[in-house]
Amino acid sequence: MKRPALFERVARGAGLLPVAVFTIASVQGAVSSRLEIVRYQAARTGYQAAAQSATSVEDQVPAPAGVDFTLWSEGRIRSYQDSRAEEGCRPQALALLEIPRLGLTVPVLEGTDELTLDRGVGHIEGTALPGECDNVGIAGHRDGFFRVLKDVTEGDTIALVTLWGTMRYTVEDMRIVEPEEIQVLDPTSAPVLTLVTCYPFYYVGNAPARYVVRARLTSEGQ
């Protein structure tokens, strides 16, 4: 089980960067996530040709809205550049995570290592997979894709789009927990979605707490 390690390492501290480096990271981040989204949508609709030409149709998918890159750390920038260098080894997304009110669309990849969380958000090992009727755990960086979680409110809709259909969840609560409080990822009797990031969102350095968004499944379909 890698849950404790996740809570210890997700979203290490971030600092302000030179404008030039920040601009490069922003462009690379948007392109990287668009490529993942294009590939996933192509797989979902069965159009393999579209997946093979993803690099030429990346502009068909808008960059995720609401993503704030202003506090990306220098180490995160290097990881981003490394992820671009490994483009050919990029894994297929498990799902797309969408928060319509906040304009977020981001690929859900397997794992929570730094490289994965630079590319998108990560499925937490040991929790249910997207589409399963249990507790689906997903982690993201507080200074990256999951920065928008600071604006999530009760009643918001979160969608997980998989190859088999779309699960829509309704946010029930948000809580701040200690890193060792990994019981938020325990199996549940009802299908739920648990989003985890570090907290405070604008903390400079290693964030001391975790911000958890819990949502319950309310509908599913195509």
Q: What is the CATH number of the domain that holds 123?
A: 2.40.260.10
The count of domains in the chain is 1
pLDDT > 70? residue 190? yes
Q: What is the pLDDT of residues 122-139, one digit of tens each?
A: 999 999 999 899 999 999
pLDDT > 70? residue 68? no
For residue 123, indicate whether it is catalytic: no
Q: What local confidence, expressed as pLDDT, does residue 37 receive?
A: 59
DSSP H stretches of helix in the chain: 3-9, 19-45, 48-52, 74-85, 114-119
Range of the domain at 94: 3-221
Q: Which long-range contacts (CB under 8 A, 24 or more apart) does 60-66 make?
A: 61/34, 61/37, 61/105, 62/34, 63/30, 63/33, 63/34, 64/30, 64/33, 64/103, 64/104, 64/105, 64/106, 64/145, 65/102, 65/103, 65/104, 65/105, 66/102, 66/103, 66/104, 66/147, 66/148, 66/151
- Cα separation, 107 vs 104, whole angstroms: 10
Instruction: Kindly indicate the confidence band of residue 36, based on its pLDDT and cuts at 50, 70 and 90.
Output: low
Over range 162-174, report the average pLDDT. Answer: 94
Which of the given ranges, 20-24, 115-119, 164-168, has the highest pLDDT on average? 164-168
pLDDT > 60? residue 56? no
Per the prediction, the chain carries an average pLDDT of 75
Tokens of 92: 């297929």
What does the longest C-alpha to C-alpha distance in the chain come to?
Answer: 49
Instruction: Kindly indicate the confidence band of residue 164, based on its pLDDT and cuts at 50, 70 and 90.
Output: confident
Task: Find the range with the poorest average confidence among 19-28, 98-107, 190-199.
Answer: 19-28
pLDDT > 80? residue 158? yes
Q: Which amino acid is at 54?
A: A
| SS3 state of residue 115 | helix
Contact 152, 85 (CB under 8 A): no
Contact 162, 130 (CB under 8 A): yes
Over range 37-48, report the average pLDDT. Answer: 51
Nearest to 33 by CA among 135, 112, 106, 87: 106
Q: What local confidence, expressed as pLDDT, does residue 27 receive?
A: 39
- Cα separation, 66 vs 103, whole angstroms: 6
Q: Which amino acid is at 169?
A: Y
Over range 188-211, report the average pLDDT. Answer: 94
Over range 61-76, report the average pLDDT. Answer: 48
User: Which residue of the set 89, 123, 133, 141 is catalytic?
Assistant: 141
- Cα separation, 164 vs 92, whole angstroms: 15
Tokens of 210: 């975790």
pLDDT > 60? residue 71? no
Residue 47 makes CB contacts below 8 A (sequence gap 6+) with none
Over range 157-170, report the average pLDDT. Answer: 94
Over range 100-122, report the average pLDDT. Answer: 90
